Amino acid sequence: MRVLGIDPGYAIVGFGFIDKIGHKLTPVQYGCIQTKPDTPPEQRLLQVYESAGALMDKYKPDAIAVEKLFFNRNVTTAFDVAQARGAIILAAAQRGLPIGEYTPLQVKQAVVGYGKAEKKQVQEMVKMFLKLSAVPKPDDVADALAVAICHAHTAVMSGKINEVNRS
């Protein structure tokens, strides 16, 4: 199973593709999509949409996993990020990809085993799970890989639960 993890953003979208074969997780490609602040908003969204779609076409994930938004301060930023998140989800839906959505608490629980883990703990676990020599930078990239790991762990369990429920 190949999973594309997304840490949605407006200026920076973190992405990470991982393969899960059995219990082994392997990084395929990771990085970020960046938009410039002086670019008109509609052009920034178009760039996020087209770049995400191009990555999906190139690396052919079986599913995408997107972090759910949680904002308690800046509403303007929340709207911008929500629009970028929508553009990414649209790109995935157009390609018929299943979409998993996870809260930051769920991601931390799946990756670290503790829902209130610190960012540094999550980053170190991403490095360990994927056998990387360093924590991916910027933080958005490590966050995206953490979302992909969360989905890789969760999707297997969800599939087993659905099988039992169908029986």
Instruction: Tell whether 42 is in a known binding site.
Output: no
- Catalytic residue numbers read 7, 67, 140
Beta-bridged to residue 64, according to DSSP, are 4, 99
67 is in an annotated binding site: yes
Beta-carbon contacts of 82 under 8 Å, excluding residues fewer than 6 positions away, are: 69
Strands (E), the chain: 2-7, 12-21, 24-34, 63-67, 99-102
- What is residue 33's three-state secondary structure? strand
**Which residues 6+ apart lie within 8 Å of 61 measured at CB?**
2, 3, 4, 17, 97
3-state DSSP assignment of residue 159: helix
Distances (CA, A) of 137 to 9, 31, 130: 15, 8, 14
140 is in an annotated binding site: yes
φ, ψ dihedrals at 34, nearest 5°: -120, 140
Q: Which residues are annotated as a binding site for Mg(2+)?
A: 7, 67, 140
